[in-house]
Amino acid sequence: MPLLNAQDVTVSRGARRILEGLNLCVGEGELWQLVGGNGIGKTSLMRVLAGVTRLGVEGDIGLRETPLFLGHASAIKPLLSAYDNLRWHPSGAVQADRGAVSAALSAVGLEHCGESPVGQLSAGQQRRVALARLWLTQSKLWLLDEPFTAIDVSGARLLEAQLQAHVAGGGSVVFSSHQPNQFSTELRVFDLSEYACD
């Protein structure tokens, strides 16, 4: 059984149809990139695939297990420390013990920023705190909406490496991005403009 199987999915917002007749099947060890211009519905589709939005969705979406979903808003509280933020993650089988959290923080290069409130870090560092969840999760399927925004070149390389490692281990990733990325593994491109309505 595939990790994600979306068949004949139609997404509407209010009375307006956004995407129509969409099929996407994600097996193990696959790296997918959603592409399409602004406003075509990448974020909407991500939320639909993850199961955040259910209203105005027709068709079947089968998920083998709860995926890890990281949306536009990264569920990071600026008033709490990076530790407290990462130890709370109710979805997608995230490990929350202290040792794992500090290992994840050093993996994203923030080993010294664990205790201070995240709001005092720079935007790029805050983004890295959110992405540190990729080092904590045990979910096989990752749904990442624009993971490459607001991080620098070294951060992007780090993220690419982590996505490839996950795919190499039999996991799968669906992400949306505008940036050109450098992957050594096969990248499957899913173009939303084929399914867009008017």
Q: Could you list the residues that contact other proteins (CB under 8 A)?
A: 13-15, 47, 50-56, 66-67, 69, 71-77, 79-80, 84, 87-92, 117
Task: List the structure tokens of 104.
Answer: 């994840």
User: What span, in angstroms and rounded, lies between the C-alpha atoms of 124 and 113?
Assistant: 13
| Residue number, 137 or 162, with CB nearest to other proteins | 137
Cβ of residue 89: shortest distance to other proteins, in angstroms?
6
For residue 28, how far is the Cα from the chain centroid? 16
Q: Which amino acid is at 1?
A: M
Q: Which two tokens stand for residue 169?
A: 């281990």
Cβ neighbours of residue 194 closer than 8 Å, sequence gap 6 or more? none
Shortest distance (Å) from residue 191 CB to other proteins: 25
Q: Which is nearer to other proteins, 88 or 183 (CB)?
A: 88
Q: What minimum distance in Å lies between the beta carbon of 127 and other proteins? A: 13
Cβ proximity to other proteins: between 83 and 195 the closer is 83
* Closer Cβ to other proteins, 80 or 107, answer by number: 80
> Taking the complex as a whole, how short is the minimal distance between the CB of residue 153 and other proteins, in angstroms?
25
Of 77 and 157, CB closest to other proteins: 77
99: burial class by Cβ within 10 Å (0-12, 13-18, 19+)? Answer: exposed
What is the signed CA dihedral for 158, 100, 66, 145, rounded to 10 degrees?
Answer: -30
In angstroms, what is the minimal distance from the CB of 33 to other proteins? 21
Q: Please give the Cα distance from 138 to 141 (Å, whole number).
A: 9
